[in-house]
Amino acid sequence: MSFTLDFFALQGKTALVTGARTGIGQAIAIGLASAGAHVLLLGHRDNLGETKEQIETINGSCETLIVDLSEVDSIKEKLAPVLEKHKIDILINNAGTIYREPAADYDINEWNRVMNVNINSVFILSQLIGKQMIENGAGKIVNIASLLSFQGGLFVPAYTASKHAVAGLTKSLANEWASKGVQVNAIAPGYIETNNTEAIRKDEARSKSILDRIPANRWGEAEDMVGAAVFLSSKASDYVNGHVLVVDGGWMGR
Ligand code: NAP
């Protein structure tokens, strides 16, 4: 079939976006809705109103879903009615959390919380929804990785370990599911102005040293992730499998 711009269209598709209240997840949810998808907005508190409103403003379609992804034992039960009601075509594993402390003193409870939200829930959701996608013979999973899927970072050992694991899981699932019509890929955002980076943006010296290394000469915005997310959610990426797409203003090339 010859290429047309319709390859990027998401009409008739249902997407589930985790962590859709703020930042990158909010921008991606609005972007997918604008490309035509019905979007299930997942958050861990009843606070997704702003994202819902923004989607309704552009005449998009969405509904909200409350699941705490740190409580990994209850995810399956909470997702069951959603999977009965919807055939999910696109899963964006975006929700993430970060805890900063020098490694020697790192709180093990925080380690476990970060691992549960950033990687264990990603596996559980991918397994539950991936199974449905395999049965349907089609699906797109997009995981949100990080530059710390490649680098070590400072004072964020759990975050770094979890994001390396996200990159590994992306390739592992892609290898198993590519032949079944399910594409599993990831986006590795650079330094983006969201709640996640508030602490390092407030640290003037740290913020300047980061900016000095970014060839694009600016921090990224959540909206900078949307093009890559729509591409990896659409027919345009049907032969892209197990790729971690860096969207970082050139950081990794330095
Ligand atoms: P953010 O605004 O803090 O977004 C994180 C989202 O995850 C929020 O909507 C948050 O909800 C949700 N979340 C947190 N814990 C959750 C839980 N237990 N259950 C369900 N949802 C939960 O930061 P962001 O930068 O957009 O982060 C989005 C993703 O991008 C994360 O995976 C992050 O690691 C990744 N990332 C960010 C950057 C960056 O520079 N900003 C760079 C690389 C990768 P609440 O706000 O309601 O807590």
CATH code of 101's domain: 3.40.50.720
Q: Are 196 and 220 in contact (CB under 8 A)?
A: no
In a domain, 216, yes or no: no
What is the DSSP secondary structure assignment for residue 49, as one 8-state letter?
Answer: H
In a domain, 212, yes or no: no
In a domain, 175, yes or no: yes
Distance CA 176, CA 127 (A): 12
In a domain, 114, yes or no: yes
In a domain, 199, yes or no: no
pLDDT of residue 253: 96
**Does residue 189 line the site of ligand 1, with CB under 6 A?**
yes
Query: In the chain, what is the greatest distance between 2 CA atoms, to the nearest angstrom?
Result: 57
pTM of this prediction exceeds 0.75: yes
- Give the mean pLDDT of 74-98: 98
* List of residues 6+ apart from 77 with CB closer than 8 A: none
Q: 206 pLDDT band (50/70/90 cuts)?
A: very high
**Does residue 94 line the site of ligand 1, with CB under 6 A?**
yes
In a domain, 170, yes or no: yes
pLDDT at 47 over 90: yes
pLDDT at 168 over 90: yes
pLDDT at 64 over 90: yes
Total domains present in the chain: 1
What is the DSSP secondary structure assignment for residue 119, as one 8-state letter?
Answer: I
- Tokens (6 digits) for 55: 């989607």
- For a pocket test of ligand 1, which of 46, 92, 93, 144 has the largest count of ligand atoms closer than 8 A to its C-beta? 144
Pick the residue whose CA is nearest to atom 44 on ligand 1.
146
- For a pocket test of ligand 1, which of 17, 18, 21 has the largest count of ligand atoms closer than 8 A to its C-beta? 21
- Give the mean pLDDT of 87-100: 98
Q: How many CA atoms lie within 13 A of 243 on its CB side?
A: 15
Per the structure, the complete domain to which residue 228 belongs is given by: 11-194+222-247
Ligand 1 atom with the shortest distance to the CA of 20: 9
Q: 191 pLDDT band (50/70/90 cuts)?
A: very high
pLDDT at 60 over 90: yes
In a domain, 209, yes or no: no
Type of residue numbered 137: G
Residues labelled as active-site residues: 159
**Does residue 207 line the site of ligand 1, with CB under 6 A?**
no
Ligand 1 atom with the shortest distance to the CA of 70: 18
**Does residue 70 line the site of ligand 1, with CB under 6 A?**
yes
- What are 236-250's pLDDT values in tens digits? 999 999 999 999 999
pLDDT of residue 1: 82
In a domain, 4, yes or no: no
* 3-class DSSP state of 185: strand
Distance CA 32, CA 44 (A): 20
Q: What percent of the chain has pLDDT over 90?
A: 99
Q: What percent of the chain has pLDDT over 70?
A: 100
**Does residue 31 line the site of ligand 1, with CB under 6 A?**
no
Ligand 1 atom with the shortest distance to the CA of 220: 40
